[in-house]
């Protein structure tokens, strides 16, 4: 890869990751959400891996890191689904703004914006879906990059 590409790849990767996080966090009130934001974050990681290579990338993931975050994404999604099951009677029921009734009603009335505070579990679902998509797409590219490196070493 050229020096110019190596110079601009990391800042662009960081910008893509930040835009992906913003898409996930605003997904309940704007177009986008967990899947789109997770794909954007993964694109930043993929850009870094493709430009710098699997061993020299400044954004590095170990197998353990990938396993842990993919498990957190899946278990969090299932846990929120079960919260809806027990609170509303079916899986992924949107239980409202205050899941465990921990926010005082005076604070709820101060910040009562229907699109933001009444989203219920949707923002949390976006976070877990984004985490799962980000790790899944990144793992595929990292596996292919590692496999290519393995094949090249095997041929030599």
Kindly report, residue by residue over 41-84, the tens digit of the pLDDT. Answer: 999 999 998 898 887 888 877 788 888 999 999 999 999 888 87
The pLDDT value recorded for residue 115 is 46
Going by pLDDT thresholds of 50, 70 and 90, the confidence category of residue 129 is: very high
The yes-or-no verdict on residue 2 having pLDDT over 70 is yes
Q: Across residues 36-42, what is the average pLDDT? A: 95
With a cut of 90, say whether residue 95 has pLDDT above it.
no
Give the integer Cα–Cα distance in Å for 42 and 63.
16
Predicted TM-score of the model (pTM): 0.79
Angle between helices 34-52 and 122-155 (to 10 degrees): 20
């Amino acid at each position: 890869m050229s020096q110019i590409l190596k110079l601009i790849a990391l800042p662009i990767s960081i910008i893509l990751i930040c835009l992906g996080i913003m898409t996930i966090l605003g997904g309940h009130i704007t177009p986008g959400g967990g899947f789109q934001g997770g794909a954007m974050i993964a694109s930043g990681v993929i850009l870094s891996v493709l430009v710098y290579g699997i061993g020299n990338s400044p954004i590095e993931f170990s197998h353990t890191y990938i396993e842990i975050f993919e498990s957190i994404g899946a278990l969090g999604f299932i846990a929120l689904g079960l919260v809806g099951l027990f609170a509303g009677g079916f899986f992924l029921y949107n239980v409202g703004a205050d899941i465990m009734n921990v926010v005082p009603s005076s604070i709820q009335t101060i910040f009562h914006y229907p699109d933001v505070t009444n989203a219920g579990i949707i923002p949390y679902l976006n976070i877990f879906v984004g985490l799962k998509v980000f790790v899944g797409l990144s793992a595929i590219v990292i596996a292919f990059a590692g496999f290519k490196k393995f094949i090249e070493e095997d041929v030599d």
